[in-house]
Structure 1
């Protein structure tokens, strides 16, 4: 695999998947031997964000997207939410990191599902900031109406108030893991993605 990372606290399920036994959070690494399907170049972040938000609207919601460095290479970091599959309520929060190259890409995806009572972060914040303030326009596509709305509770400023929430866990794990991630030198040397 082109990406390696610290797997401390995770149980390996197979060659490309790990699970945190305490939270059921799952990490996977994949390599795709085809040109990345990103809708814009990493250098055109505004367009990339808008198109990613529109694309994700059919199945969930793009919360945020950034270009970050992974072992000296540019990568796209996305935070998204989707309904839990086969469940009447609840969400799964995903942090995905794509290191795109001209003709291939490597990805690391962290999936953090809600467990127990769902919607507590949203309910507590609605009481705190007012329900009328819970659904601002999407920051990347203001008129967007998708399967899941952009929610004020998705904002990173609330993470400290909800340290066990799956969105908080996803952000914290990515923040701890990305600085130590390494890329295979052969993969890192491939021609860069231009969009």
Structure 2
């Protein structure tokens, strides 16, 4: 998996969908969708050998992405601080805001759980992107869920800001003091960051917000997804990876 491929998987399906074919045209032996047992709400739409695309009844998207290449994750799968630094660099280099990077397990498989926010170019609002990355010695899988803001946007931010009281504004930059913040390093600054309204404690107040939904999807995946025995038997990823 190259870093570019990882970012493409996290950002969306723009480069993947044109080559995807209807599910019924994919040979059973090569069907990516059968390698993971997913929660029932996700219905297969189309797939090829690299990506399987699912939707649920509210229109949110889940993809299973397969990369037949040595992962280029620049950290040990057990070093959460190094992983956070790696995914922070990756996110910021591609215009994303890091909300979360944590160690996780899908059944018996070690994984990295990530959550990002992306600006949408054509409409005002954000897309929320959650993923489990499953790296192995010579390949990797990314299970990604995505939900986009639609209709009236910014309500979550407006309500949380009102709860905080009148904001303080930095005279030199015009930024709201204390509004944007890195989830792990209070001293870190970037052009586009997680903000206080993204805190998980507000999810219950805004259950239909894309961020709240993506967090629920990630919890459901971690507790219920099952991987095929052929995947469970793969050699685990170690850093530094061979050939990198």
TM exceeding 0.5: yes
Contact 1:97-1:108 at 8 Å conserved across structures: yes
Aligned ranges 1:37-116 → 2 under 5 Å? 37-58=72-93, 59-87=95-123, 89-116=124-151
Q: Classify the secondary structure of the residue corresponding to 2:70.
A: coil
CA distance in 2 between counterparts of 1:113 and 1:34 reads 30
Higher normalized contact order (CA 8 Å, seq sep 6+, divided by chain length): 1
Quick one: distance in 1 between partners of 2:221 and 2:178? 30
- Pair 126,100 (structure 1): closer, same or farther in 2 beyond 3 Å: same
CA distance in 1, matches of 2:74, 2:153: 33
Q: Partners of 1:40 and 1:9 in 2: how far apart?
A: 34
Q: Distance in 2 between matches of 1:51 and 1:177?
A: 23
For the 8 Å contact 2:38–2:221, the answer to whether it is kept is yes
Structure 1 portions without partners, runs of 5+:
none
Q: 2:179 aligns with which of 135, 138, 146?
A: 135
Which structure: larger Rg? 2
Once the two structures are superposed, the pairs formed by residues 1-195 of structure 1 within 5 Å of their partners are: 1=32, 2-6=35-39, 8-15=40-47, 16-22=52-58, 24-58=59-93, 59-87=95-123, 89-130=124-165, 131-132=167-168, 135-141=179-185, 142-146=187-191, 148-195=192-239
Cα offset for 1:190? 1.4
Q: Residues 135 and 149 of structure 1 are in contact (CA less than 8 Å); yes or no, is this contact kept in structure 2? A: no
Alpha carbons 1:18, 1:26 under 8 Å: kept = yes
Does structure 1 conserve the Cα–Cα contact (< 8 Å) formed by 2:73 and 2:86?
A: no
CA distance in 1, matches of 2:41, 2:236: 33
Deviations 1:23-59 (A, max 9, x none): x210110111111122211211111102211220131
Provide the aligned length of Structure 1 versus Structure 2: 191
- Judge conservation of contact 1:54–1:144 (CA < 8 Å) in 2: no
Instruction: Let me know the Cα RMSD of the aligned residues.
Output: 1.6
Matched with 2:10 is none
**Cα-to-partner distance string for 1:123-178 (whole Å, 9 max, x where unaligned):** 110000133465253133432313x2220111111111111110000011111222
- Preserved CA contact (<8 Å) 1:39 1:52: no
CA distance in 2, matches of 1:166, 1:43: 29
TM-score w.r.t. length of structure 1:
0.91
